[in-house]
Amino acid sequence: MTELSPAVAAEPELDRAEWRRFRLLVGGYMASSFGSYLNMVALQLFVYQTTGSAVATGLFLVLRMASGFLAGLAGGTVAARLPRRAVMISCDLAQASVLLVFALSPNGIRVALLPVLAVSIGALSTTNQLLLRATVPDLVGAEHRMRANGLLVTGRAVAMALGFATGGLLVSWVGYQAAFLVDAGTFCVSALVLVTVRLRFPRPVQVRRQEKPGLARQGRFVLLALTAAPPVLAIVIVRCVDALGSASHQVGIPIYATQLQPGNPAGFVGNFWAAWAVGLFAAHQLVTRIYRSGPRHDERAFVISTAVMSVAFIAAFSGLGQPWVLLVALIAGLADGFTEITYTTRVQAEPDPARGMFFGLTAMAENAGLGIGLLVAAGLLEMWTPLVVAALMHGVVVVLAAGYLVRTTPRPGDRATTSS
């Protein structure tokens, strides 16, 4: 009988020195992720308070995501044809430089620099993220990539909790300039780790020998690769629709918090995302217990966890009491972390240069889905309640997931055919 979800062939355990080096890389990733979430809070506050316009704030976010989309478009080429360590260091230092210039500029010039900041952060952070994901199998080996992805997701959870918690506090205590300087410093820490820690990044010349396409040929290569790997195509589609659905709760939670706790909406939002981050933090432990024998090509688990996350976010708007809504937020974070680990691990099973191409495609899908979703959710929330909007947009994710699971569930006749 043909095995439908084979485990990756076993490899020797990494020694302690290699895991120590990878954990240092995770520490640098945590620093830059903390910076990303810190500037997500501080920059949105700065844009809104400086311009006094919700439209300007929305345009800043859309420009940032559009830049991430374009970075995903070029990400496969970058991953295949350029030295990844050097590119990641350059991305960190470029973000630090732009933030440093922004922090030290007079307030009038800062406003003029906002489009530059949106483009640079969107493009550079997306490039850095997809290069790191594509490189994990080279750093730790294919057999250990799920454990490594779990460590990265755990680091992101800690960074997110700290970034969201301290963003507003830093601005209120020390002002925007100091907050942006701290932000720039986090990217310098990440670059320093990449410079000093000995890590096994792949050589670009080895990839170039396999494939040196022009842009049109590369586009055809991606289409052929997706045709040859339909499970990855399904993942890309689900990630896009999931990002679109996620826009409903990103826009809806502040509105719902204001309706539910008009005296302290910020407290509700902070508690909600703190509980979500706890769930994200616990996802690594859950994955470790489920996949004791090593990573598998488990697209169904990815789709199921995506649907669970969507159902949890719908439930969060249903008027539950404070303890229950925090439990729902924790479940959403747990499912989100599980989804992130299983998705990343599955795409990493593809060989280079296809792996970098696929991570670029998922980055494009995520940025496009979220950007369109933010516009749709903002319009729908003018007419309907957050619960209705979340049920509609996350409901699309649940329906898509259910259709995928029905389509891929083996039937008795299929098993008989496979056995023969």
pLDDT (tens digit per residue) in 321-380: 888 999 999 999 999 999 999 999 999 988 877 788 889 888 989 999 998 998 899 889
Do 14-212 and 215-409 show the same overall fold?
A: yes
- Supply 288's token pair: 């470790």
Q: Is the peptide bond before 137 cis (omega within 30 degrees of 0)?
A: no
Nearest C-alpha neighbor of 33 from the set 128, 175, 135: 128
Task: Report the alpha-carbon distance of residue 337 to residue 315 in Å, rounded.
Answer: 18
Return the pLDDT at 417.
45
Nearest C-alpha neighbor of 301 from the set 227, 246, 231: 231
pLDDT bin (cut points 50, 70, 90) of residue 43 is confident
Task: Report the alpha-carbon distance of residue 411 to residue 277 in Å, rounded.
Answer: 38
What does CATH list as the number for 215-409?
A: 1.20.1250.20
Could you write out the DSSP letters of every residue in 31-58? HHHHHHHHHHHHHHHHHHHHH--HHHHH
- 14: three-class secondary structure by DSSP: coil
Percent of the chain with pLDDT over 70: 87
> Is pLDDT larger for residue 227 or for residue 269?
269
Angle between the N-to-C axes of helices 16-51 and 107-140, in degrees from 0 to 180, rounded to the nearest 10: 160
Tell whether domain 14-212 is in CATH 1.20.1250.20.
yes
Is the pLDDT assigned to residue 27 strictly greater than 90? yes
CA atoms within 13 A on the CB side of 338: 28
Return the pLDDT at 38.
86
- Supply 76's token pair: 């496969």
Is residue 343 a contact partner of residue 288, using CB atoms and an 8 Å limit?
no
Q: How many residues does the chain have?
A: 420
Nearest C-alpha neighbor of 120 from the set 96, 84, 86: 96
Give the predicted TM-score (pTM) of the model: 0.84
Return the pLDDT at 80.
83
Annotated domain spans of the chain? 14-212, 215-409
Sort 314 into a burial class: Cβ within 10 Å, 0-12 / 13-18 / 19+: buried
